[in-house]
Amino acid sequence: MRSYSWRTFALEFVMLAVTVAFAFPLYVLVNLSLRDPRDTASAASLTTSPTGRNYADAWQQAGLGGAIANSALVTIASVVVIVLVSSLAAYPLARVTSAWSRAVFLLVMLGLLLPFQLALLPLYQTIRDLHLLGTPWALVLFYSGLQVPFATFLYVGFLRALPREYEEAALIDGATQFQAFRSIVFPLLRPITGTVVILNAVLVWNDFLTPLLYLSGSTQQTIPVAIFGFLGQYVSQWELVFAGLVIGSLPILFVYFAMQRHIIKGFAGGLKG
């Protein structure tokens, strides 16, 4: 059945209908965010005279500018640290076959079994004692440690399949091991680094529970926390809330649609293990 038969056509029609139904909530989201609050038509019927006022109001009242800046800071800083420390750690874990290397690898993999809820509360106390509560750095610290096991796991898997000849040539030429890693190995890790960046950026950007705890009572917020507070405050003014939701989603959706091919591949590739 290589040709485009009537069956394929029927399937195409069904899949289009399914996708339209799937995307319907997103249509309502944008539709309602553009509506004048006095317009009482159903949320699903197309807004006849769209207004941008909700966006201006939401931007001012929800403090979304500061939240986006914080989320961006936390996401970028965490992802940079995760990539650097995990790729570095994966190198000896993948290349050295001695007993200590295997023991450390198993210890790190233990982290894949521990849900972060267990560490969250005892760590809350430590972070409070360090006077980091309410600062974005508490989050950067948390994610950087939390994601070491998964990122290291991905890097080790990739490195084991990577030939050693290149780094060995560099070592023969007199490079130190760190130089060989930095200028030979790390660039070769690029495909898996892409996956690590994508998976962790989405996770950090979207996380809600950690900033809810570690930033509570401060003026610092990330997008999920700001949206949650905004929802609680204006719960009856849905047009306003929806404008806030759109603003809060735009950064990640923009990145997603710009890089969808890489992002979908990153999700699928990383999880094949």
Partner 1 sequence: MSAHTSTRPPVQASAADPPSPAPRRPRRNQLWFFLVPAVALYTFVVLVPSGRGALLAFTDWDGLSPDRAWIGFDNFTAILDDADARAAVGQTLLVAVAITIVQNAVGLLLALGVNARIKSRNVLRVFLFAPAVMTPVVVGALWKNLLAPDGAVNWALDGIGLSSLKQDWLGDPDVAIWSVVGVVVWQFAGYSMVIFLAGLQGIPQDVYEAAEVDGAGPVRRFRHVIFPLLAPATTINLMLSIIGGLKLFDQVWVMTGGGPGHSSETLSTLIYKDAFQFGEFAYSIALAVILTIFVAIISSGQYWLLRRQEESSR
If 0-12 CB within 10 Å is exposed, 13-18 middle and 19+ buried, where does residue 167 land? buried
Binding of partner 1 at residue 73 (CB under 8 A)? no
Q: Which is nearer to partner 1, 13 or 56 (CB)?
A: 13
Least distance (Å) between residue 215 CB and partner 1: 13
Question: What's the min distance (Å) between Cβ of 57 and partner 1?
Answer: 17
Q: What is the smallest separation between the CB atom of 126 and partner 1, expressed in angstroms?
A: 7
- The answer for residues whose C-beta is within 8 angstroms of residue 184's C-beta and 6 or more apart is 166, 167, 170, 175
Sign of torsion, CA 146 147 152 153?
positive
Piece in contact with partner 1 (CB under 8 A), picked from 46-54, 55-63, 189-197, 219-227: 219-227
By CB under 8 A, name the one of 55, 158, 214, 242 that touches partner 1.
Answer: 242
For position 86 contacting partner 1 by CB under 8 A, the verdict is yes
Which residues between 53 and 72 bind partner 1 (CB under 8 A)?
A: none
How many residues sit in the footprint of partner 1 (CB under 8 A)? 107
Residue type, 5: S
Which residues inside 18-47 make contact with partner 1, applying CB under 8 A? 18-19, 22-26, 28-29, 32, 42-44
Distances (CA, A) of 8 to 2, 3, 16, 22: 10, 9, 12, 21
Taking contact as CB under 8 A, which single stretch among the options 50-58, 60-68, 166-174, 188-196 is the one that binds partner 1?
166-174
Q: Which residues contact 88 (CB under 8 A, 6 or more apart)?
A: 181
Q: Which is nearer to partner 1, 16 or 56 (CB)?
A: 16
- Other Cβ atoms within 10 Å of 180 Cβ, number: 20
| Dihedral pair phi/psi, residue 22, rounded to 5° | -60, -40
- DSSP for 94-143 reads HH--SHHHHHHHHHHHHGGGS-HHHHHHHHHHHHHHTT-TTSHHHHHHHH
Q: Which two tokens stand for residue 226?
A: 């700001």
* Per-residue binder mask for partner 1 (CB under 8 A), 170-209, x = binder: -xx-xxxxx--x--------------------x--xx-xx
- 120-159 footprint of partner 1 as x/- string (CB under 8 A): xxxxxxx--------------xx-xxx-xx--x-------
Out of 38, 115, 131, 219, name the contact with partner 1 by CB under 8 A: 115
